[in-house]
Each structure stands twice: as structure tokens, then as C-alpha cells.
Amino acid sequence: GAVVSQHPSRVICKSGTSVKIECRSLDFQATTMFWYRQFPKQSLMLMATSNEGSKATYEQGVEKDKFLINHASLTLSTLTVTSAHPEDSSFYICSARDPAGENTEAFFGQGTRLTVV
Amino acid sequence: TQLLEQSPQFLSIQEGENLTVYCNSSSVFSSLQWYRQEPGEGPVLLVTVVTGGEVKKLKRLTFQFGDARKDSSLHITAAQPGDTGLYLCADHPPTNTNAGKSTFGDGTTLTVKP
């Protein structure tokens, strides 16, 4: 199956600093990628849709100035958590759909555990 | 807005037991995917089902898709500790539908005790 790589897998940062998370589609081009946030033992909560070459689309309640998304190429989307606070600590996951793939399956990155201290 | 309901929410069983988890949708699925997610990892795709009434088997896992394409079940035979994880069902509409946004169930957290 298609592979999506997310980096870093874990990051600890101080309050007030910014953290960048990368999501790469390794063997297909993704015009659209999705960023999710997940709390313990809960399902995925969609934060935003990353669109190559255009602005991201944010879900209601998600601050676009705090969670900056850049989709500069067909294989890379980045999520930057700006001025991080402890309440931003969470598990962040990206996904991408292979447009050439069967049944429009979505493939996920390994996730990033962010801890803000 | 499509809603996916999974049951049970939590399930704890002994190794060797059988189990079934369910996923019900408020509307017809475009295509149904089942994922398993282990702690600290991203969800891993187990199966995709598209056709109503379809049954797929993956080793000890059996996936059934309802005739009306609004419900599905995942049955695990002789569960092993390695089956422990969060099981998610999802619907991935075509990219020209709702911007291709996926809908996920709330998940079933399965714990298999040795």
C-alpha cells in the first residue's frame, strides 16, 4: 500500500516556541492531505485540509493562525504549531489519499506526539 | 452530516476468545475502511469493502458489509494480545464529495489479556 511518512514521531518543546511537523507521501503525489488531532482513546478529529498550491481549509474551532499549514509540493505538507502551550500537547496525525489508488483509501503517517512543557 | 457509531466502545477479553465489533452509519457508505491503531502509532488500514453483502477475511479477522451498505462488523477469532488496539471504521468519499473529507467512528478499544 501507499506510504505516508510523518516526522518527528515525538517532540518536546517549551511553552511559547513553535514546532513544525512534516508529512510526506513517499510513493504517490497527494494534492490533498489531512491533519488530525487525537486525544487518548478517542477517535481522530479533523483539524484542516491541506491543499497543494492553495490555502488550507480549517475546521470550525481550529485557529488557523495557531496551526499553520503549508502544502508547498505534491509530496509534502507541514503543520506548524505556533506559540505552543501545554494544552496543545496531543497526538497529531496526517493522512493522504492516493488519487490513483483503488477505492480512494486514506493512508496515515505514524503520528507525532507533541508535549509542551 | 454522516455519523458513524461503533460498539462497543471498550472491550477487554482473554486470549483465545472470539469477539465482534460493529460500525453503523447514518447514511450509505461510499466505501468502508477498517483500521487498527496501536498506541503511539498512526492507524493502519486493515480492509476496504465496497459492495453490499461483501465478506472479506484477513487471517483471523472477518469483515462483513451489510446489504444496505450502512453497517459493518469485524469478527476476530481466537484473539491474541497482538490484536490489542483501537479499531476504527471510516468512510472515505470521493475527492469531489465534501472535499474528500473522511468520517471516522469513535472507535472500539480492544484489550486482549494473555
pLDDT in tens, B75-112: 999 999 999 999 999 998 876 666 678 899 999 999 99
- Which grid coordinates belong to B80? 491474541
Give the closest of A46, A93, A105 to B92, CB-based: A105
Residue A94 CA to residue A4 CA, distance in Å, equals: 8
With cell 496525525, the residue in question is: A93
> Is residue B3 within 8 angstroms of chain A, CB to CB?
no
Q: What is the DSSP letter of A28?
A: S
3-state helix, strand, coil in chain B (%, to 5): 5, 50, 45
Q: What is the pLDDT of residues A46-62, one digit of tens each?
A: 999 998 888 899 999 99
Å between A111 CA and nearest CA of chain B: 5
B40/A111 touch (CB, cutoff 8 Å), yes or no: yes
Give me the residue from A6, A49, A104 closest to B92, CB to CB. A104
**Which of A87, B57, A110, B55 lies closest to B46, judged by CA?**
B57
pLDDT of residue B96: 67
Contact B99 A49 (CB under 8 A): yes
Alpha-carbon distance A30 to A8, whole Å? 20
